Amino acid sequence: MAALRDPDNGCPWDLEQNSRTIAPHTIEEAYEVFDAIERNDIDDLRDELGDLLFHVVFHARLAEEAGHFDFNDVARAIVDKLERRHPHVFGTVSERDARQVAANWEQIKADERAELVDKSALAGVARALPALKRAQKLGNRAASVGFDWPDRLGVDEKIREELGELEVAVGSRDRAAIDEEFGDLLFAVVNLARHLQVDPEAALTAANYKFERRFRAMEQNILRRGKKLSELTLESLDQEWRAAKQRLKGEQGSEPS
């Protein structure tokens, strides 16, 4: 990385970069790591982890050049954090129960936040997170200090309320209101996922995969008959969709609806 950033003999592209310009690429590399894991492609995972590590080194090198910190400081910081948050491994705490360990972890994180300038329970929830994941984290943080519905029924009622407000906004044809109310509805649904102990990101990822498999199966079956999807009526497409679902259920044995 130092050679790539050498002012005299380095790479012109690397020399033009800063942390802000490469940040989107860093996020992309993290998603590619996730994709390799989802596909269970071990060789690709090795390569994608290397790409992600390169970005860690890149950001650290930029900070070193600016006189802030270097790669060793980055490594030391995570070592210190892991030791601090695992007193049951590196300290004197003897509790080994998974639930208690998780509770201790959250308390330690809360103590760390208390030392920050921003004292909010929501401090440190990165704004650059995907919106679904950020909504989940914000809900978790709020619940940790008691700002939550007592049970799932309260969330159900909130979803119905937000759906009603969305209907009103749609009726008014107010674009800004529609966007706002739709966002509120999604946020309420994420809170329902939290009460059901469902990871909304994982659930939506699975739903995306299921939809893609079924759509592709329907598409291939129609194309094999020499037809195009655009030539079929909505009713015919619905019949094809249901047929594709049944075929996939037969192949998988237990594919969900």
pLDDT of 77-107, one tens digit each? 999 999 988 888 898 887 777 778 887 887 8
- My answer on whether 122 and 163 are in the same domain is yes
Question: Cα separation of 214 and 224, whole Å?
Answer: 15
Q: Which of 162-171, 179-188, 206-215 has the lowest mean pLDDT?
A: 206-215
- My answer on whether 137 and 160 are in the same domain is yes
Residue 97 within any structural domain of the chain:
no
- My answer on whether 165 and 237 are in the same domain is no
- Res. 235: pLDDT tops 70: yes
Question: Cα separation of 100 and 108, whole Å?
Answer: 12
- My answer on whether 173 and 240 are in the same domain is no
- Res. 257: pLDDT tops 70: no
Instruction: Name the DSSP class of 150.
Output: S
Give the pTM.
Answer: 0.67
Question: Cα separation of 156 and 161, whole Å?
Answer: 9
Question: Cα separation of 140 and 148, whole Å?
Answer: 9
Residue 100 within any structural domain of the chain:
no
The better pLDDT of the pair 71, 105 is held by: 71
- pLDDT (tens digit per residue) in 202-216: 899 899 999 999 999
Instruction: Name the DSSP class of 146.
Output: T
- My answer on whether 134 and 167 are in the same domain is yes
The better pLDDT of the pair 61, 252 is held by: 61
Q: Can you give the residue range of the structural domain that contains 247?
A: 201-252
Cβ atoms < 10 Å from Cβ of 232: 14
Residues 208/143, Cβ–Cβ less than 8 Å: no
- My answer on whether 218 and 234 are in the same domain is yes
| Residues whose CB is less than 8 angstroms from the CB of residue 177 and which lie 6 or more positions away in sequence, other chains included | 169
- Res. 252: pLDDT tops 70: no
- My answer on whether 163 and 221 are in the same domain is no
Structure tokens at 189: 């649904």
Q: What is the pLDDT of residue 256?
A: 54
Residue 123 within any structural domain of the chain:
yes
The better pLDDT of the pair 77, 128 is held by: 77
| Confidence class for position 255, pLDDT limits 50, 70, 90 | low
- My answer on whether 215 and 179 are in the same domain is no
- My answer on whether 130 and 156 are in the same domain is yes
Return the percentage of the chain with pLDDT > 90, whole number: 72
Residue 223 within any structural domain of the chain:
yes
- Res. 250: pLDDT tops 80: no
Residue 240 within any structural domain of the chain:
yes
